[in-house]
Amino acid sequence: GAGVSQTPSNKVTEKGKYVELRCDPISGHTALYWYRQSLGQGPEFLIYFQGTGAADDSGLPNDRFFAVRPEGSVSTLKIQRTERGDSAVYLCASSFPGTAQFFGPGTRLTVL
């Protein structure tokens, strides 16, 4: 595809459940990023992959959050034991290293 795609576009879950959010980057981009955007705020960095490895996961809020990128392309953000405070829009971006990041449409997560 031409741009970054994210699925699902919306996810509603119950407190305590497990969720997976998927990101498909722009073809050829080796760097992939996850951000979280709460209402009325700017996006906040979560994690950055260069290839298959997480180069910087300093933004993950706690150990309930985990992300993988096993083949260096698609990435999955996994959230265990979801809490109401996890409700936000989760944004994925990709780039060639050191260049501008291009964002996907986001996944809106609602934890009831």
Binding site for other proteins (CB under 8 A): 31, 33, 35, 40-45, 48, 55-56, 58-59, 89, 91, 93, 97-106
Q: Residue 8 Cβ, how far from other proteins at the closest point, in Å?
A: 14
For other proteins, give the closer residue by CB, 48 or 65: 48
Contacting residues for 109 by C-beta, under 8 A, at least 6 apart: 11, 13, 19, 21, 79, 82, 86, 87, 88, 89, 90
For other proteins, give the closer residue by CB, 14 or 39: 39
For other proteins, give the closer residue by CB, 70 or 98: 98
Q: Which two tokens stand for residue 19?
A: 């969720």
Q: Residue 88 Cβ, how far from other proteins at the closest point, in Å?
A: 12
- What value, to the nearest 5°, has the Cα angle with vertex 61 and ends 55 and 62? 95
For other proteins, give the closer residue by CB, 19 or 49: 49
Q: Name the DSSP letter for residue 18.
A: -
- The partner residues of 10 in beta bridges, in order of sequence, read 108
